[in-house]
């Protein structure tokens, strides 16, 4: 007991001085409030925050969309969304209390007369509260509207307030290549200061993604091997069994590289490879992440074919059900060359990582949904075991599973009980589900409260976005210029066989 108490009393250098600030009184305006993201993610996240008492006492939500709708109709929409998609069954009292805080203002995002109406609605809520509330504008619209909304907020004098904080949350994608991201950034910086801007990458809100930092920087055990002397290679996988659903319009113009690699996967890479920040201050963390991205040398056009693979799914079967191929999906042009699978080999050229290949792969309609980071160590330098003994010895693998079966596992060689020295890989595992016995919050719950609180640690800074696109742009251009179609792979498979060659001799992808 004494030991435990003493341990508790020790200051924790990671969290010291970082007590979570309370969420200040806020009016949140969601542009695109009747869209899919609001329905499936944002409204249910707000309900769960309300359920946990994590919303400020003074909190209002204004939904904005083109459709004419009364407050009551919007509440009906939100009630249905929350009931269908909340991770917990809604408590009627909490739900009705939250719905009571909802308002709706209908206008097209390009309609300049709409913004003064929104401003009046926000000010009316201040008047009801008898105080000024912070303003957070959430842009959950098609990306084509981001610039228009920012400019219009500025024109209506809604981008800044002398007495309260005004923030803007921008959904992804932030641009569709380096040039368009820079154009959008120019509009953003004309209307808002960087500290006001919260660019979403919902992977950063996932508990298990944040655990990459905890795992690396709250443990001493792994640091000595976390470098090119001990690590052979890294595999980052974001596989999905789902197809593109009803998103053909968006997806066909995007493809796997823009949809998942440019943002989520590069974020996973930076968290895995960054140096320890001196503190968990938003800018200190993001400075370290940018250094990693800057250390990835963009591929030259002649290197792209050797270091990347793109694929497109054919018809197949998943979970015993037949599914169509990408070209047969509703809304996809019959001759589309869009990739639904991408695999890349990158290198982080700094002292810690030089020479360690980092492989990324993502795809739709693969064998199963799994997101994980696998770090494979080098083989032991000398195999003392003879014959049988040496057969089962495999390099250690450390796997951080982001989803599902969230956890961390470490593989190691162990002696099989018996009179002979035979060795087999065994796993040491930590699973969130059984260790903490609680359901993790959805990423959006964490991100919405962080943005309301003004903590930008889990949001992408402008220079990060720029650096991400600088890595992706040359690949996009080379793929675009190439006559070759994407490699076909069967739905429900491990992806195109061509991806195996990317790894090089003696390495193989982890089975999905
Ligand atoms: C989104 C992509 O950003 O992430 C989707 O646009 C993808 O295509 C999704 O399905 C995956 O997110 P998650 O949280 O389900 O892994």
* Residue 120 domain boundaries: 2-171
CATH number of domain containing 437: 3.30.360.10
Distance CA 279, CA 327 (A): 48
Calculate the alpha carbon distances from 129 to 27, 118, 125, 428, 454 in Å.
11, 17, 6, 53, 21
- 510 part of a folded domain: no
Q: Give residue for tokens 């929104």.
A: 118
pLDDT tens, residue order, the chain (512 aa): 333 444 444 444 444 444 467 899 999 999 999 999 999 999 999 999 999 999 999 999 999 999 999 999 999 999 999 999 999 999 999 999 999 999 999 999 999 999 999 999 999 999 999 999 999 999 999 999 999 999 999 999 999 999 999 999 999 999 999 999 999 999 999 999 999 999 999 999 999 999 999 999 999 999 999 999 999 999 999 999 999 988 999 999 999 999 999 999 999 999 999 999 999 899 999 999 999 999 999 999 999 999 999 999 999 999 899 999 999 999 999 999 999 999 999 999 999 999 999 999 999 999 999 999 999 999 998 887 766 666 678 899 999 999 898 999 999 999 889 888 888 899 999 998 888 887 788 999 999 999 999 999 999 999 999 999 999 999 999 999 998 999 999 999 999 999 999 998 889 999 99
Whether 240 is covered by a domain: the verdict is yes
- Both 311 and 360 in one domain: the answer is yes
Same domain, 232 and 160: no
Mutation probe of ligand 1 site: the residue of 210, 248, 264 with most atoms within 8 A of C-beta: 264
Maximum distance among all Cα pairs of the chain, rounded to whole angstroms: 84
User: And the tokens for 40?
Assistant: 């499936």
- Whole-angstrom CA distances from 450 to 49, 54, 458 are 12, 11, 8
Pocket test of ligand 1: the residue of 202, 239, 372, 443 to mutate, having most ligand atoms within 8 Å of its CB, is 202
* Strand bridging mode 407-415 / 134-139: unpaired
Is the CB of 445 within 6 Å of ligand 1? Answer: no
In a domain, 195, yes or no: no
Tell me: do 218 and 167 sit in the same domain: no
Ligand 1 midpoint to CA 71 (Å): 31
Angle at 155 between CA 153 and CA 161, to 5 degrees: 60
Q: Give the whole-angstrom CA distance, residue 210 versus residue 226.
A: 18
- Contacts for 372 with CB less than 8 Å, ≥ 6 apart: 236, 237, 399, 400, 401, 402, 510
276 and 346 part of one domain: yes
How far apart CA 153 and CA 136 sit, in angstroms, is 12
Cβ-based neighbour number of residue 3 at 10 Å: 7
Q: Is 455 close to ligand 1, i.e. is its CB under 6 Å away?
A: no
Strand intervals (E) in 240-340: 308-314, 316-318, 321-323
**Ligand 1 touching residue 259 (CB < 6 A):** yes
Residue 135's pLDDT is what? Answer: 98
> Does residue 176 belong to any structural domain of this protein?
no
Ligand 1 atom at minimal distance to the Cα of residue 247: 8
Q: What is the whole-number distance in angstroms between the Cα of residue 444 and the centre of ligand 1? A: 13
Structure confidence at residue 387 (pLDDT) = 65
The pair of structure tokens assigned to 395 is 């390099």
For residue 300, give the nearest of 477, 500, 501 by alpha carbon: 477
CB 237 within 8 A of CB 343: no
- Is 441 in a helix, a strand, or coil? coil
Nearest CA to ligand 1 atom 2: 259
Whether 509 and 494 have beta carbons less than 8 Å apart is answered as: yes
Q: Is there a contact between 48 and 87 (Cβ–Cβ < 8 Å)?
A: yes
Expressed in angstroms and rounded, the spacing between residue 251 Cα and the centre of ligand 1 is 11
| Atom number, ligand 1, closest to the C-alpha of residue 244 | 8
Q: How far is the CA of 240 from the centre of ligand 1 (A)?
A: 9
Q: Quick one: 166 and 225 in the same domain?
A: no
- Is the bond preceding residue 173 a cis peptide, omega within 30 degrees? yes
Distance of CA 394 from the midpoint of ligand 1 (Å): 33
Pairing of strands 134-139, 316-318: unpaired
Q: Is residue 15 part of a domain?
A: yes
Residue 264 annotated to the active site? yes
Residue 87: CATH number of its domain? 3.40.50.720
Q: How far is the CA of 307 from the centre of ligand 1 (A)?
A: 24
**Alpha-carbon torsion (237, 238, 241, 243), positive or negative:** negative
Residues 155 and 216 both lie in one domain: no
The residue count for the chain:
512
Answer with the one of 150, 171, 192 that is the final residue of a domain: 171
Identify the pLDDT of residue 385. Answer: 75
99 CB-contact burial (10 Å; exposed 0-12 / middle 13-18 / buried 19+): buried
Closest Cα to residue 253, out of 141, 338, 142, 365? Answer: 338
Torsion angles phi and psi, residue 104, rounded to 5: -140, 135
User: Which tokens in the block code for residue 445?
Assistant: 């719950």
pLDDT of residue 508: 95
- My answer on whether 138 and 219 are in the same domain is no
Q: Count how many domains the chain has.
A: 2
The whole-number pLDDT of residue 17 equals 42
User: Helices in 130-233 by DSSP H: which ranges?
Assistant: 146-155, 178-191, 207-217
Q: In angstroms, what CA-CA distances link 165 with 80, 85, 136, 284? A: 31, 31, 8, 22
240 lines ligand 1 (CB under 6 A): yes
Looking at the structure, tell me whether residues 142 and 211 fall in a common domain.
Answer: no
Same domain, 36 and 162: yes
Distance 410 CA to ligand 1 centre (A): 27
- In the prediction, which pLDDT does 8 show? 46
Q: Give the three-class secondary structure for 274.
A: coil
Please indicate, yes or no, whether residues 139 and 217 belong to a single structural domain of this protein.
no
Q: Select from 129, 148, 171 the last residue of a domain.
A: 171
| Contact present, 192 and 168 (Cβ < 8 Å) | yes
Residue 210 lies in a domain: yes
Residue that has been written with the tokens 């290198």 in this structure:
347
Residues 138, 246 within the same domain:
no
Query: Could you tell me the two tokens for 460?
Result: 């992408």
270 part of a folded domain: yes
C-beta of residue 106 within 8 angstroms of C-beta of residue 67: yes
pLDDT, position 6: 41
Q: Is residue 194 part of a domain?
A: no
Q: Which atom of ligand 1 is nearest to the CA of 443?
A: 14
Do 331 and 324 meet the contact criterion of CB atoms below 8 Å apart?
Answer: no
Examine the domain organization and report whether 45 and 161 are in the same domain.
yes
Dihedral pair phi/psi, residue 375, rounded to 5°: -105, 115
Handedness of CA 210, 216, 217, 221 (dihedral sign): positive
- Among protein residues, the one whose CA lies closest to atom 10 of ligand 1: 240
Ligand 1 pocket test, pick from 173, 258, 259 with the greatest ligand atom count within 8 Å of Cβ, gives 259
Residue with CA closest to ligand 1 atom 15: 240
Residue 402 CA: nearest ligand 1 atom is: 16
Ligand 1 atom, smallest distance to 403 CA: 16
Ligand 1 pocket, residue 171 CB under 6 Å = no
Say if residues 98 and 50 touch (Cβ distance below 8 Å). yes
Query: Of 148, 171, 194, which closes a domain?
Result: 171
Of the candidates 137, 264, 382, 480, the residue annotated as catalytic is: 264
Q: Which atom of ligand 1 is nearest to the CA of 250?
A: 6
């Amino acid at each position: 007991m004494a030991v435990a108490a003493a341990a508790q009393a020790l200051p924790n250098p990671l969290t010291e001085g970082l007590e979570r600030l309370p969420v200040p009184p806020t009016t949140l305006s969601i542009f695109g409030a009747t869209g899919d993201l609001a329905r499936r993610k944002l409204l249910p996240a707000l309900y769960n925050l309300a359920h946990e008492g994590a919303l400020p006492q003074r909190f209002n939500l204004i939904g904005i969309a083109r459709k004419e709708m009364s407050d009551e109709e919007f509440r009906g929409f939100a009630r249905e969304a929350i009931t269908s998609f909340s991770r917990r069954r809604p408590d009627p009292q909490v739900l009705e209390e939250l719905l009571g805080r909802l308002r709706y203002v209908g206008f097209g995002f390009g309609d300049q007369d709409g913004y003064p109406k929104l401003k009046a609605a926000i000010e009316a809520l201040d008047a009801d509260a008898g105080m000024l509330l912070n303003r957070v504008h959430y842009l959950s619209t098609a990306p084509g509207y981001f610039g228009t909304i920012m400019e219009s907020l500025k024109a209506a004098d809604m981008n800044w307030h002398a007495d309260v904080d005004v923030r803007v949350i921008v959904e992804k994608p932030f641009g569709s290549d380096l040039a368009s991201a820079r154009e959008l950034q120019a509009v953003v910086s004309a209307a808002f200061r960087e500290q006001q801007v919260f660019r979403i990458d919902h992977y950063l809100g996932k508990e298990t993604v944040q655990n990459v930092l905890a795992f690396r920087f709250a443990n001493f055990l792994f640091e000595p091997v976390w470098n090119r002397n001990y690590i052979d290679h890294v595999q980052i996988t974001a596989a999905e069994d789902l197809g593109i659903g009803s998103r053909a319009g968006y997806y066909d113009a995007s493809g796997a590289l823009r949809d998942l690699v440019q943002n989520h996967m590069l974020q996973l890479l930076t968290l895995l490879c960054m140096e320890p920040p001196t503190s968990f201050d938003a800018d200190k963390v993001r400075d370290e992440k940018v250094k990693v991205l800057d250390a990835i040398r963009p591929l030259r056009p002649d290197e792209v074919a050797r270091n990347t693979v793109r694929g497109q799914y054919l018809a197949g079967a998943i979970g015993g059900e037949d599914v169509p191929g990408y070209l047969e999906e509703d809304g996809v042009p019959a001759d589309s060359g869009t990739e639904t699978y991408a695999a890349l080999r990158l290198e982080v050229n700094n002292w810690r990582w030089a020479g360690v290949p980092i492989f990324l792969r993502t795809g739709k309609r693969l064998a199963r949904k799994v997101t994980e980071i696998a770090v494979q160590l080098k083989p032991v330098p000398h195999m003392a075991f003879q014959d049988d003994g040496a057969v089962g010895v495999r390099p250690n693998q450390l796997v951080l599973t982001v989803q599902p079966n969230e956890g961390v596992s470490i593989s190691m060689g162990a002696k099989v009980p018996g009179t002979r020295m035979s060795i087999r890989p065994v796993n040491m595992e930590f699973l969130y589900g059984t260790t903490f016995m609680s359901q993790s919050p959805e990423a959006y719950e964490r991100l919405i409260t962080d943005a309301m609180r003004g903590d930008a640690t889990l949001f992408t800074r402008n220079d990060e976005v720029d650096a991400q696109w600088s890595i992706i742009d040359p690949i996009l251009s080379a793929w675009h210029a190439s006559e070759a179609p994407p490699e076909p792979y069967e739905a429900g498979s491990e992806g195109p066989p061509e991806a195996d060659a990317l790894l090089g001799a003696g390495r193989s992808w982890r089975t999905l």
